[in-house]
Amino acid sequence: MSKIYVAIIGAGGVGKSFISQLNAYVGRIRNKHTINTILISRSSKALQSKDYSGINLTTWESDLSGGGGGKPPAFPEETLKFLTGAPGPVILVDNTSSEEVAGEYPRFLSAGVHVVTPNKKGFSGSLELFQAIYAASAGQNGNGGYVFHEATVGAGLPVLSTLRDLQDTGDEIVKIEGVFSGTMSYLFNSFAPLSPTGSEKPFSACVAQARELGYTEPDPRDDLNGLDVARKLTILARLSGLPVSQLTSFPIQSLIPKPLETAASAEEFLDGLAEFDNDMEGVKAAAEKEGAVVRYVGSLDVAKGEVSVGLRNFDKGSAVAGLKGSDNIISFYTRRYGDRALIVQGAGAGAEVTAMGVLSDFIKVLERLK
Amino acid sequence: MSKIYVAIIGAGGVGKSFISQLNAYVGRIRNKHTINTILISRSSKALQSKDYSGINLTTWESDLSGGGGGKPPAFPEETLKFLTGAPGPVILVDNTSSEEVAGEYPRFLSAGVHVVTPNKKGFSGSLELFQAIYAASAGQNGNGGYVFHEATVGAGLPVLSTLRDLQDTGDEIVKIEGVFSGTMSYLFNSFAPLSPTGSEKPFSACVAQARELGYTEPDPRDDLNGLDVARKLTILARLSGLPVSQLTSFPIQSLIPKPLETAASAEEFLDGLAEFDNDMEGVKAAAEKEGAVVRYVGSLDVAKGEVSVGLRNFDKGSAVAGLKGSDNIISFYTRRYGDRALIVQGAGAGAEVTAMGVLSDFIKVLERLK
């Protein structure tokens, strides 16, 4: 029975859910593995088990906010030293969205530390970092750590694992397309539903409502600029073999009207957005004319080497048009599956399902260490 | 660089596709693993590499039909002896649909042989066999072989792997439902399409057409009796913790009219089926009255402990109703995903995609052996 050591950086929404799921998991597999969590760190405070004996995953939160927390080890040097000093394999779980942490994955992997993470930064930033991460990982040589990041696309949905299975078994990816943002999904499913009731609100009101319900970032422009979707497409494109050099090297349609990019606050932005409602009504009406609905999608054509993110009309009978709520849908068109796609669909955001994606990656590492 | 040994039983449609995909795979990973295929056996003839040096996966078919083939080793004794004599880990790929082969999985697993298979018999037959297989496998103790059978449900679609991820990470399966048969999918998508054109054919004509296009078994009753769907539901139910004792321990709606069960031939059956078209028209009309379409589905309610297979009406806006062609759809309702399901959809039959499911399982074993 081997001992595995775990370091968790980031203990916000996803991090908390992850720790809670990990705690339950450790209980269930007690007879097969011993899992010692040796670090839980937030920006300014951390629990650190300096003798590697393990942190209590049931009381960690009160321990951390109470007297038990200390200064986190400096990143990366001190952290790396602490992790590589562990008397067994170490899995680093990065639940932050930090570029700084992601930038050090290659070093951690090269040192044999395994990395699992929902943090998109390492995979959707510079192509150099993406390549350095994979070059340092176990996939390329026998010594590096494993890296898994299922939750960077579609949270807990089996997206990257499906892509990998298709590729590993020799299928060819022709096209990947879908709705990759719960926010965009909710927005367009309410703005331009498949079966309109006539009481649909203008676009700006839909945005305001989505914000009230917590479906958007505090400033909705962080969703409407399309960058979150573009990050996911960048990851899928690179994993499909397209060397997308950076996030902005393909067309990203922003839904923020130019004059409102500089609005001082989210409120000011929302007030101004109503003036542009006619534009979006026009887009919606044009789609309806062709028996379609408008949706915000990402699309990746491997053969043509094209990636794009923005509005597109979908036939009312299509799976994308039929999406509901804030669900994501990802369609894989491949040589083997032919004209009809392999489709994965469901909630693609939320702390619980994102943490589930991270934990299933964590388990994948464990299975390889066994 | 470790050497892995492979024995392939069954070299028909799926078996051939698997060998071709395996051959390509072995070429791609030449630098990481050495994979020696030591047995390819058909019912009466086999290629066997008695010195474990490996069979040529490019020329195997002509080698087998030409002078190279011999009598297969007797099953199970001689085969087991041959496999356990290999100087490294052995993966047994069972591409048959044989009960006899499946019945011996526990012995092979106990002897440390890993099993991957699209053969439903071991998992949908007696509960004792199902339990013996899992008890002998690596999941339960440290010594047995791994067993993977993704392709027993939905061919290459990520169904069992998704179920396992949900369970391993502590989610609770509430309900699983969907269309689990390409034949039934095609039949009802043509008999009762979402958007009728008015030129829909009677049910018997749809069955005849599906047969001509190769979507049914030679005798369509082998699809219409619902047993194939029931086998898949039995597998999902057991993996979800419901101890379904046998295939017939839950309601299975057969679409074969009683008087035709004994029809002497497929042709006689099809001739007779037209007399029952009015019944199916009635079923279709009743669904239309409630704004729904009728579909042949399998459903599994974990909380209630209920499994059922048969016709059901689906709201026209639902994902099941929107299915096209001969696609499968599998919806997982879980505690975490709440009211909206995690959905996997796509081609669920065909040699290429079934072989892909088997090969991705094969790779999962390899990753664990590394």
The pLDDT tens digits of the residues spanning B55-101 come to 999 999 999 988 788 999 999 999 999 999 999 999 999 999 999 99
Spell out the SS3 assignment of chain A: CCEEEEEEECCCHHHHHHHHHHHHHHHHCCCCCEEEEEEEECCCCEEECCCCCCCCCCCHHHHHHCCCCECCCCCCHHHHHHHHCCCCCEEEEECCCCHHHHHCHHHHHHCCCEEECCCCHHHHCCHHHHHHHHHHCCCCCCCCCCEECHHHCCCCCCCHHHHHHHHHCCCCEEEEEEECCHHHHHHHHHHCCCCCCCCCCCHHHHHHHHHHCCCCCCCCHHHHCCHHHHHHHHHHHHHCCCCCCCCCCCCECCCCCHHHCCCCCHHHHHHHHHHHHHHHHHHHHHHHHCCEEEEEEEEEECCCCEEEEEEEEEECCCCCCCCCCCEEEEEEEECCCCCCCEEEEEECCCHHHHHHHHHHHHHHHHHHHC
Strand ranges across the sheet with B147-148:
B46-48, B34-41, B3-9, B90-94, B114-116, B147-148
Mean pLDDT for A301-324 is 93
Answer yes or no: do B151 and B236 share one domain. no
The reply to whether A176 and A77 lie within a common domain is no
Phi-psi group of A305: left, alpha or beta (phi > 0 → left; psi -120 to 50 → alpha; rest → beta): left
Q: What's the sign of the alpha-carbon dihedral A354, A357, A359, A365?
A: negative
How far is A264 from B101, CA to CA, in rounded Å? 71
In which order are the strands placed within the sheet that holds A147-148? A46-48, A34-41, A3-9, A90-94, A114-116, A147-148
Would you place residue A352 in the very low, low, confident or very high pLDDT band (cuts 50, 70, 90)? very high
Contact (Cβ atoms closer than 8 angstroms) between residue A330 and residue A159: yes
Q: Is A338–B347 a contact, with Cβ atoms under 8 angstroms apart?
A: yes
Any idea which residue has 């002078």 for tokens?
Answer: B67
In eight-state DSSP terms, residue B4 is E
pLDDT at residue A214, as a whole number: 87
A129 with A170, same domain: the answer is no
Question: Helices then strands (H, E): number in chain B?
Answer: 15, 11
Nearest to B356 among A336, A341, A344 (CB): A336
* Residue A94's pLDDT band (cuts 50, 70, 90): very high
Rounded CA-CA distance B319/B231 in Å is 23
Helix (H) or strand (E) holding B41: strand B34-41
Out of A158, A337, A363, the one facing B168 most closely (by C-beta) is A363
pLDDT of A140 strictly over 60: no
Concerning whether B16 is annotated as a catalytic residue, the answer is: no
Identify which of B329, B188, B176, B192 has the alpha carbon closest to the alpha carbon of residue B241.
Answer: B176
**A69 pLDDT tier (thresholds 50, 70, 90):** confident
Closest C-alpha among B180, B123, B175 to residue B148 = B123
Residue in B closest to A340 by C-alpha: B346
In our burial notation (b when 16+ CB lie closer than 10 A, e otherwise), range B17-44 reads: bbbbbbbebbeeeeeeeebbbbbbbbee
DSSP B252: B
Mean pLDDT (chain B) is 94
CATH number at residue A49: 3.40.50.720
Mean pLDDT over residues A309-314, rounded?
97
Whether residue B9 is found in the same domain as residue B128? yes
Q: Residue A8: what are its φ and ψ, rounded to 5°?
A: -115, 115
CA separation for the pair A91, A168 (Å, rounded): 24
Same domain, yes or no: A52 and A172: no
Range(s) of the domain holding residue A303: 159-348
Euclidean distance between CA atoms B322 and B188, whole angstroms: 11
Query: Over the Cα atoms of chain B, what is R_g?
Result: 22
A100 and A45 in a common domain: yes
Same domain, A115 and A178: no
Candidate from A169, A347, A352 with C-beta closest to B340: A347
| A310 Cα distance to chain centroid | 18
Asked if B114 and B195 sit in the same domain, the reply is no
Q: What is the pLDDT at residue A132?
A: 97
Q: What pLDDT is attached to residue B362? A: 98
The rounded distance, in Å, linking the Cα atoms of B42 and B15 is 10
Select from B26, B116, B165 the residue whose CB has the most chain A CBs within 10 Å, as the one to mutate to test that interface.
Answer: B165
Closest of B193, B170, B131 to residue B321, by C-alpha: B193
A218: β partners: none
Q: Return the pLDDT at A67.
A: 78
User: What's the rounded mean pLDDT across residues A95-99?
Assistant: 96
Residues B202 and B298 in one domain: yes
**A211 and A128 part of one domain:** no
Q: What is the pLDDT along chain B (370 residues), one digit of tens a residue?
A: 589 999 999 999 999 999 999 999 999 987 777 999 999 999 889 999 999 999 999 999 999 988 788 999 999 999 999 999 999 999 999 999 999 999 999 999 999 999 999 999 999 999 999 999 999 998 655 679 999 999 999 999 999 999 999 999 999 999 999 999 999 999 999 999 998 898 899 999 999 999 998 889 999 999 999 999 999 999 999 999 999 998 888 999 999 999 999 999 999 999 999 999 999 999 999 999 999 999 999 999 999 999 999 999 999 888 899 899 999 999 999 999 998 999 999 999 899 999 999 999 999 999 998 6
Is the per-residue pLDDT at A141 higher than 60?
no
Of B3, B50, B81, B232, catalytic? B232
- Please judge whether A367 and B368 are an interchain contact, meaning their C-beta atoms are less than 8 angstroms apart: yes
CA distance A232 to chain B (A): 19
Contacts of A158 (CB under 8 A, 6+ apart): A150, A344, B158, B161, B162, B165, B344
Same domain, A189 and A288: yes
Q: Encode A289-312: b = buried (16+ Cβ within 10 Å), e = exposed.
A: eeebbbbbbbbbbbeeeebbbbbb
Backbone angles phi, psi at B317, to 5 degrees: -85, -5
Nearest CB to B170 within list A21, A317, A337:
A21
Pick from A143, A165, A320 the residue to mutate for testing the B interface (most B CBs within 10 Å): A165
Question: A163 and A144 share a domain?
Answer: no
* pTM over the 0.90 mark: yes
Q: B3 with B87: CB under 8 angstroms?
A: yes
Residue-wise pLDDT tens digits, A214-259: 889 999 999 999 999 999 999 999 999 999 998 888 999 999 999 9
Mean pLDDT of A142-155: 92
Q: Enter the tokens of residue B294.
A: 């009728």
Q: What percent of chain A has pLDDT over 70?
A: 98
Rounded average pLDDT over A45-66: 95
Q: Is B217 annotated as contributing to ligand binding?
A: yes
Q: What are phi and psi of B170, to 5 degrees?
A: 90, 10
Is residue A217 marked as binding?
yes
Q: Does B27 count as an annotated binding residue?
A: no
Q: What are the tokens at B95?
A: 């591409």
CB contact under 8 A, B336 and A359: no
Give the number of domains in chain A.
2
Taking the C-alpha atoms of residue A177 and residue A319, their distance in angstroms, rounded to an integer, is 11
Q: How far, in Å, CA of A259 to CA of A221, rounded? A: 13
| CA pair distance B6, B11, nearest whole angstrom | 14
- Active-site position among A45, A232, A304, A364: A232
Instruction: Supply the CATH number for residue B216's domain.
Output: 3.30.360.10
